[in-house]
Amino acid sequence: MRRRAADLWVRIGGGVIVALAVLAVAAPSAATHDPNAIDLLEALQPPSALHWLGTDSLGRDLYSRLVFGARISLLVGVGAIGVAMLIGTALGLAAGWYGGWVDSALMRFVDVMLCFPTFFLLLAIVALIGQSVANIILIIGVTGWMGVARLVRAEVLSLKEREFIQAARVLGFGAGRIMWRHLLPNALSPVLVSATLGIGSAILVESGLSFLGLGVQPPTPSWGNLLIDAKGTLGVAWWLTLYPGLAILCTVLAFNLLGEGLRERLGRS
Amino acid sequence: MLTYLIRRVLGLIPLGIGITLLCFVVIHLTPGDPAVVGTDLNPKISLQARQRIKEFYGLNDPLPVQYGRWVARVARLDFGRSLADNRPVSEKIAERIPVTLTINVLSMLLILLLGLPIGIVAAAKPHGVFDHATTLLVFLGFSMPTFWLALLLMQWLGVQWQWLPISGLQGLGTDSWPWWERGWDLARHLALPVFVSAFGGLAGVARYMRSQMVDVLQQDYIRTARAKGLPEPRVLFDHALRNALLPIITILGLSVPGLLGGSVIFETIFAIPGLGRLYYDAVMARDLMTVMGLLTISAGLTLLGNLLADLAYAYADPRIRVGGQGG
């Protein structure tokens, strides 16, 4: 029962994500209009055959902007989690393998990082180093690696006592080789599950930052800054509020379904 | 209990050092001297005068000395003066704390009031209709961009149907109203922000409560209770609930930074003068002193939340405080 539900989640989530990735890659041909073409005569038009999801206050086609926005959201989500995995895995491996003061120092650092509200840290660093797409990816990664580090450390601690790791040590393999060839591959699956869930929350964080005006800069369309326009046209143009939010919700939901489904399967096998 | 308390408080010291150190490093990574900002483009201020300013603020001392001095001041809750309006940062924070605290306490109550029963009912019949509906709610809660939820609610409840006010904490011209009408006005202003800030946490607590209950319901003492013929409600509420509730205390303590961070978004949307809005404004105005003060205070509040949760847990579960070095 539970197993079947998990399979369904994986299929739905995975399907949505693949469809979205195709749409994002093919954005120039999938879009019906130039996402930045201003046409004031067509401003604030409700959805129609010409503009599938309506137009914004500058007459730009909302559907085309959403399609191009998908590129930013997926790029930031995947990129940020890549950075977080890199930092978290490296520190988690080091803490778990070396133990002792290295472990205590790194884990206290994790505790300290977790004391700050993530959004406070994000805003402070964005304001310091500026808000290009690369910076946003870096910042979300740098403030989001703590969970991965704890997870990897826990995996390493339990793997360390297993025979095949003991054997590798007895054979005199170096720490680097053991970590890279033996520990990492075995610790990877739970990390990948948490990464899948992390992509969803990174997309949420990016949209929140953009909505506050501290994310990706307009006129580059991102799902978060499309909603800035929505705030100004509240009660006038419902489509500007509804569709970008739905896009974020469905995408994050897809990543969460995929991640939870994978976790469920992993727990059984 | 006292030894437990002392041990816990002592454990906070390294964290406090780490927090202040991190804040201090962030200030000094910032381009431009904090005390020279605002004077560097002013041609009337000579190099010597600038040197005197630096001397006055002790900016020529080695960094460890500066750090020590800063921590000593922070320990007395002195965060310096705001670079934006020259008022003491601690004063600015103090006047904003009640607003944010009220909203967060209310939303925590709402989370518990709705989340716990949902989790319990879902766990009572795993894989029933209600359980599946709860799973859906949990997924929605984790995937919902809360600022979008806020916009939707503003659009329909606020603008379209005019049921609830959508910004600030007070209606226009309500100062002369009697207190009960002002109270009602405040409650109406708080309704949307509290609901929006509770939404994500609600899903988390409901899910946690459910899995906790499911675990407890598989224990031997539950089977004993059922075997001796106790009615199911008594099994659920007297025997299972008490044990399943304990870990929720820890979750509440851990939720402090999330709630504070979330307040940036909804206080900005609903134009509420709280800590989140203050932080956002300070970041936008590059008001470093206020940013540092708020970062330190927010991390301090998190420590306090964790400490209170630990103490509450130890109070509720004797195994913790007697258990010696564990945890």
With H, G, I as helix, E, B as strand and everything else as coil, classify residue A57.
coil
pLDDT band for position B113 (50/70/90)?
very high
Q: Reduced to 3 states, what is the DSSP secondary structure of residue B287?
A: coil
pLDDT of residue B186: 82
Q: Which residues of A touch B151 (CB under 8 A)?
A: 227, 230-231, 234, 241, 245
Highest average pLDDT, of A80-89, B18-27, B124-133, comes from A80-89
Using omega within 30 degrees of 0 as the cis cutoff, is the peptide bond preceding A219 cis?
yes
Q: Does B298 touch chain A (CB under 8 A)?
A: yes
Residue the block writes with tokens 């926005």: A69
- Structural tokens at position A131: 């808000």
Q: Verify whether the Cβ–Cβ distance B145 to A253 is below 8 Å.
A: no
Return the higher-pLDDT residue of A136 and B56: A136
CA-to-CA dists, residue A71 to A37, A222, A247, angstroms? 18, 8, 12
Q: Contact A261/B182 with Cβ under 8 angstroms? A: no
- What proportion of chain B, given as a percentage, has pLDDT over 90? 14
Mean pLDDT of B276-288: 89
Q: How many whole angstroms separate alpha carbon B278 and alpha carbon B295? A: 12
Check pLDDT > 50 for residue A106. yes
Q: Does B25 touch chain A (CB under 8 A)?
A: no
**Contact call for B260 and A207, based on CB within 8 A:** no
Q: Are the beta carbons of A268 and A10 closer than 8 angstroms?
A: no
Which residues of chain B does A200 touch, with a Cβ-Cβ cutoff of 8 Å? 142-143
Could you give the 3-state DSSP secondary structure of residue B30?
A: coil
Q: Is the pLDDT of residue B234 over 60?
A: yes
Query: Hey, CA dihedral for B19, B24, B29, B32, is it positive or negative?
Result: positive
Q: Does B108 touch chain A (CB under 8 A)?
A: no
Specify the pLDDT at position B34. 53
Contact predicate B87/B81, CB 8 Å: yes
Chain A residues closer than 8 Å to B129 by CB: none
On chain A, the residues whose CB falls within 8 A of the CB of B280 are 123, 212
Residue of A10, A112, A238 for testing the chain B interface, max B β-carbons within 10 Å: A112
pLDDT higher than threshold 70 for residue A218: yes
A113 contacts on B by Cβ (under 8 Å): 22
Using CA atoms, how far apart are residues A221 and B193, in angstroms rounded to an integer?
Answer: 28
CB B265 within 8 A of CB A119: yes
Question: Which pLDDT score is estimated for A264?
Answer: 85
Number of other residues whose CB lies within 10 A of the CB of residue B327? 12
pLDDT tens digits, residue range A177-206?
888 888 888 888 888 999 999 999 999 999
What pLDDT was estimated at residue B37?
55
- Determine the Cα–Cα distance for residues A185 and A35; give it in Å rounded to an integer: 43
- Look at residue A70 and tell me whether its pLDDT is greater than 70: yes
Lowest mean pLDDT among A146-150, A205-209, B241-245, B266-270: B241-245
Tokens of A202: 């990174």
Question: Which of B147, B158, B295 is opposite residue A120, by nearest beta carbon?
Answer: B295
Residue B327 pLDDT exceeds 50: no
Q: Which domains does chain A have, with CATH numbers?
A: 55-253 (1.10.3720.10)
Quick: pLDDT tens for B122-144. 988 888 889 889 988 899 989 99
The Cα–Cα gap between B288 and B293 comes to: 8
**Interchain CB contact of B26 with A (< 8 Å):** yes
Question: Coil, helix or strand for B126?
Answer: coil
Say if CB A208 and CB B269 are below 8 A apart: no
Residue-wise pLDDT for B142-164, tens only, equals 999 989 999 888 888 877 787 77
Give per-residue pLDDT as tens, B24-45. 887 776 665 555 555 556 666 6
pTM: 0.87
Gap from B257 CA to chain A (nearest CA, Å): 4
Q: Is A232 exposed, middle or buried (0-12, 13-18, 19+ CB in 10 A)?
A: exposed
What's the pLDDT score for residue B57? 66
Average pLDDT over residues A62-87: 93
Max avg pLDDT among A76-80, B33-37, B117-121, B225-229: A76-80
Residue B275 Cα to chain centre, angstroms: 10
Nearest C-alpha in A relative to B301: A115
The confidence band for A269, taking pLDDT boundaries of 50, 70 and 90, is very low
Q: Which residues, in sequence order, are CB contacts of B35 under 8 Å at separation 6+?
A: B53, B54, B56, B57, B59
Q: Tens of pLDDT along A230-256?
A: 887 877 788 888 999 999 999 999 999
Instruction: Name the DSSP class of A51.
Output: S
pLDDT at B81 over 80: yes
pLDDT at A204: 93
Contacts of B158 in chain A (CB under 8 A): 234
Contact between B122 and A222 under an 8 Å Cβ cutoff? The reply is no
CA distance B240 to B221: 9
What is the Cα–Cα distance from A92 to A190, expressed in whole angstroms?
13
Chain A neighbors of B192, CB-CB under 8 A: none
| pLDDT given at position B36 | 55
Query: Strand, helix or coil at B281?
Result: helix
DSSP conformation letters of B50-115: HHHHHHHTTTTS-HHHHHHHHHHHHHTT---B-TTT--BHHHHHHHHHHHHHHHHHHHHHHHHHHH
∠ Cα B108 B112 B117 (to 5°): 160
pLDDT at B66 over 60: yes
CB-based contact B140 A1, cutoff 8 Å? no
> Tokens standing for B190?
């708080």
Which of A12-21, B37-46, B55-64, B177-186 has the largest mean confidence?
A12-21
On whether the CB atoms of residues A220 and A132 are closer than 8 A, the answer is: no
Closest residue in A to B302 (Cα) is A115
Q: What is the pLDDT of residue A2?
A: 66
Average pLDDT, chain B: 83
Domains of chain B (ranges; CATH) run 89-326 (1.10.3720.10)
Which has more confidence, B301 or B182? B301
Among the partner-chain residues A123, A127, A230, the one whose CB lies closest to the CB of B151 is A230
ipTM value for the complex: 0.87
In terms of Cα–Cα distance, which of A210, A231, A232, A207 is closest to A219? A210
Phi, psi of A55 (to 5 degrees): -130, 160
Determine the distance in angstroms separating the CA of B159 from the nearest CA of chain A, rounded to an integer.
Answer: 6
Q: What is the pLDDT averaged over residues B39-60?
A: 69
Work out the average pLDDT over A60-69: 91
